[in-house]
Amino acid sequence: MNMLEIKDLSVHFKSRAGTVHAVEGVNLWLEKGELLGVAGESGCGKTTTTLAIPGLLPQNAFIPKGQILFNGEDLVKKTEKEMEKVRWKQISVIFQGAMNALNPLQTVGKQMMEPILLHEPHVSKKEAEERVKELLEQVGIEKNRFTNYPHEFSGGMRQRVMIAMSLVCDPELVIADEPVTALDVMIQAQILELLKKLVKKYSLSMIMISHDLSVLCELCDKIAIMYAGRVVEYGYAREVFTHPKHPYTVKLLHSLPDIYGEKVFINGIPGYPPSLITPPAGCPFCERCTEKIPECGSRVPELVDLGGGHYAACCRQTEGRAVV
Ligand SMILES: Nc1ncnc2c1ncn2[C@@H]1O[C@H](COP(=O)(O)OP(=O)(O)OP(=O)(O)O)[C@@H](O)[C@H]1O
Ligand SMILES: [Mg+2]
């Protein structure tokens, strides 16, 4: 059984300009112990999709349809009180930009103990302190830094603290939203290695968001590519990287610099994503797609199983024609 199964999920926002269709009909799934990468341009709905899982959407968001099955239970139907029991202990989140969100007035150790003391009342302060110190060591920080304040740590170390903090209540699923984006390249690699190590050590499942597709392909078991609120391709990382099936994924991969070869000209994808307030009638990528056929303008393609665990949402695929 899949540990997480998101079925036909839509998340909309009420705004002055109208309803923002930030996530539309998303299907995604994840087995225990798997690392799923989610990629796509800024604004495509990565954060919104993943924040819907632990029920942490902003006030003006609502879920018009869909299910989020976690170990078989639909999280969309749970009350806020029930979700409080799910957060930290079953699902934890490393938020986008989290390393700058530590309280500057409190020691790192104290902040890390808070979720334990709040969610596991039977655990003593001493035990919580021990657990925090052990996790600090697991992320490569000496335990005697327990009493340090956030400003005494570098950016990379603060991010290590946030990673350790996401594990304090021993969750099954960790959502890491752009965990390395704000860090310099050398540190990025170390943090990604650390996340991979922790996934193995604690048998975690993880969803990692990044706009850097090459990073995700290297690290993750599976990849989901999002475009304008929809998942357009999903499959094993290596397969998606070497045999992309959706024209958008192909373009994204072509826009990556070749780090081993000579300097190459990086082609952006001409054009812009469609409006999420008045979404187009057909495929959301249609306007920018060089492979389009007439029906793309009038039909939104579903995510279709192409065999081998590889899925794409493209009118050409469902027509039986190869895209690339
Ligand atoms: N509270 C909100 N109210 C209205 N619209 C919102 C709100 N939060 C997000 N949106 C819109 O929803 C869409 C999806 O946003 P989201 O933050 O999920 O994208 P993202 O893929 O995480 O982008 P990024 O890579 O920049 O983090 C965007 O168009 C965004 O402007
Ligand atoms: Mg985001």
Question: Does residue 286 form part of some domain?
Answer: yes
Return d(Cα 66, Cα 74) in angstroms, integer.
Answer: 9
For ligand 1, mutation pick of 12, 46, 60 (most atoms within 8 Å of CB):
46
Q: Report the half-sphere exposure of 92 (CA within 13 A, side-chain side).
A: 19
Return d(Cα 265, Cα 268) in angstroms, integer.
Answer: 9
> Could you tell me the CATH number of the domain that includes residue 232?
3.40.50.300
Compute the mean pLDDT over every residue in the chain, rounded to the nearest whole number.
Answer: 93
Total residues belonging to the chain: 324
Q: For residue range 31-64, list pLDDT tens digits in order.
A: 999 999 999 999 999 999 999 999 999 999 999 9
Question: Does residue 197 form part of some domain?
Answer: yes
Question: Does residue 26 form part of some domain?
Answer: yes
Instruction: Please give the model's pTM, rounded to 2 decimal places.
Output: 0.94
Strand segments, DSSP code E, in 128-280 are: 173-177, 205-209, 222-227, 230-236
- For residue 22 the two structure tokens come to 């930030």
Number of structural domains, the chain?
1
Give me the phi and psi of 28, to 5 degrees please.
Answer: -155, 150
Q: Is the pLDDT of residue 87 over 60?
A: yes
Question: Does residue 9 form part of some domain?
Answer: yes
Question: Does residue 274 form part of some domain?
Answer: yes
Question: Does residue 82 form part of some domain?
Answer: yes
Question: Does residue 271 form part of some domain?
Answer: yes
Is 277 in contact with 13 (CB distance < 8 Å)? no
List the domain range (segments joined by +) for residue 197: 2-90+171-319
Is the distance from the beta carbon of residue 11 to the nearest atom of ligand 1 less than 6 Å? no
For ligand 1, mutation pick of 11, 48, 59, 96 (most atoms within 8 Å of CB):
48
Residue nearest to atom 24 of ligand 1 (CA): 42
Question: Does residue 31 form part of some domain?
Answer: yes
pLDDT band at 319 (very low <50, low <70, confident <90, very high): low
